Amino acid sequence: GGKQLEPLKYAKVAMEASVSRRKVECCIFGTTSLLYHCLEKGVSVAFVLRDVGVLLIEGSMVQMRFYLDFLEKVIGERIQDRAILKALQQLDMVVYRAVPIASLSFTGRVIIFPK
């Protein structure tokens, strides 16, 4: 839609992660390559986004589930109302950190990023 893509600043990522630029390039290439092959073969993948939640991709279905504490930060208050919490769970919007990621998929088999 007419949006300009901005190239990834490998040097900045390397500096913030305290690793070499080459290592950053290899990690990003390796991750995108593995993701491409998983999606091409229909393998389920999950991206664990620290402090936010889990992005699950299974076939043509993409689902984002959020950690409860993240949702509480977004709305600015604790979610103590059982009805609201139950509604969020029924909408499959909430995931608990202790839940095994594989249990979120239909098959129980998923490649988890990052590892």
Average pLDDT per run of 10 along the chain, which is 115 residues long? 85 94 93 90 88 89 88 75 69 81 82 72
- When divided into structural domains, the chain yields a total of 1
Residue 106 in domain: yes
Give the pLDDT confidence score for residue 115 in this predicted structure: 56
Give the pLDDT confidence score for residue 24 in this predicted structure: 94
Give the pLDDT confidence score for residue 33 in this predicted structure: 93
Give the pLDDT confidence score for residue 18 in this predicted structure: 94
> What is the rounded CA–CA span in Å between residue 57 and residue 62?
5
Alpha-helix residue ranges (DSSP H) falling in the chain: 10-17, 21-41, 68-75, 82-90
Residue 108 in domain: yes
Give the pLDDT confidence score for residue 91 in this predicted structure: 66
Give me the torsion for CA of 63, 47, 41, 26, rounded to 10°: 150
> What is the rounded CA–CA span in Å between residue 39 and residue 37?
5
Cβ-contact 46, 104 below 8 angstroms:
yes
User: Model's pTM, two decimal places?
Assistant: 0.71
Half-sphere exposure of 28 (CA within 13 A, CB side): 15
Residue 5 in domain: no
User: 60 is in which domain, residue-wise?
Assistant: 10-113
Cβ-contact 62, 72 below 8 angstroms:
no
Give the pLDDT confidence score for residue 69 in this predicted structure: 84
